[in-house]
Amino acid sequence: MLDKLIRKKGGEAKAENEDRPVLDETVIPRHVAIIMDGNGRWAKKRSLPRIAGHHEGMKTVRKITREADRLGIKVLTLYAFSTENWKRPKPEVEFLMRLPEEFLGTYLPELVERNVRVRMIGDHEHLPPHTGRAITRAMEATADNDGLILNFAMNYGSRAEITEAVRSIAKAVAENRIGADEIDESMITGALMTAELPEPDLLIRTSGEVRLSNFMLWQLAYTEFWFTDTLWPDFDENRLQEAIAVYQARNRRYGGVDKEDTD
């Protein structure tokens, strides 16, 4: 099935096997966004505490960051903690809030070395101070890097982000800096926390859930979606390549006809 869709640039034969599709290096998504789901389920299957799944999921973050960089992806956005995640048991939240420090303590030198720039979106004002400090330090240490942008969505909720954008624009109107008639889509796009980033080309959600869970609602308007049953700790280079192969198959032009015109 999949292999029928995947061809090399010249149109000749395809992948060696289903796990390692042949990718068209000229059609790599610029921005890939991932909802990293299934860490708790991964742990449960092994009779481990949920935090063991989160810890294993952190290793997958490193693996996928490296592969995204190798493939030439420019922006990787990872949904690490939603505004809804505060409802989890306190010990679990406390463990999660230590992960950025552990991740950066281990991998920041590697990120600097690989020219990766760390960024974040979300409400970082209300993170525990130790968490906020670790992330701020990483953003500062990588601010001049111009390679892959590794963008963590932390304490992020899309409706809150849009609400804040609307509030800032309303203020500009109230203070007569702009007129209401001047508000357009690009102004709203520019007032979001993703203003400097291209829109995601591909959204991946792991672990079989098929919903957006308040993630980048405005930004995903034209994004291709790919869902997999694979749990985040089991996600790997091959799965990322499979997602990109599907993205490429969907984006392929048939007989010179634009994809918008093929229906």
Instruction: Characterise 256 by phi-psi region: left (phi > 0), alpha (psi -120 to 50), beta (else).
Output: left
Is 123 catalytic? The answer is no
Shortest distance, position 55 Cβ to ligand V0D, whole Å: 7
User: Which residue's CB atom is positioned nearest to ligand V0D?
Assistant: 57
DSSP E strand stretches across the chain: 31-35, 75-82, 117-121, 149-156, 202-205, 224-227
Q: CB under 6 A: which stretch of 8-16, 53-61, 186-194, 237-245 binds ligand V0D?
A: 53-61
Instruction: Identify which of 188, 120, 195 has the alpha carbon closest to the alpha carbon of residue 155.
Output: 120
Q: CB under 6 A: which stretch of 25-33, 54-62, 201-209, 218-226 binds ligand V0D?
A: 54-62
Shortest distance, position 4 Cβ to ligand V0D, whole Å: 33
Shortest distance, position 181 Cβ to ligand V0D, whole Å: 40
207 binds ligand V0D (CB under 6 A): no
> How many angstroms separate the CA atoms of 28 and 242, rounded?
12
Burial of 105 (0-12, 13-18, 19+ CB in 10 A): exposed
81 binds ligand V0D (CB under 6 A): yes
3-state secondary structure of 249: helix
> Looking at beta carbons only, is 165 or 231 nearer to ligand V0D?
231
> Looking at beta carbons only, is 118 or 202 nearer to ligand V0D?
118
> Looking at beta carbons only, is 57 or 157 nearer to ligand V0D?
57
> Looking at beta carbons only, is 130 or 171 nearer to ligand V0D?
130
Helix axes 129-141, 99-113, angle to 10 degrees: 0
Is 155 catalytic? The answer is no
> How many angstroms separate the CA atoms of 185 and 124, rounded?
26
226 binds ligand V0D (CB under 6 A): no
Q: Annotated active-site positions, please?
A: 37, 85
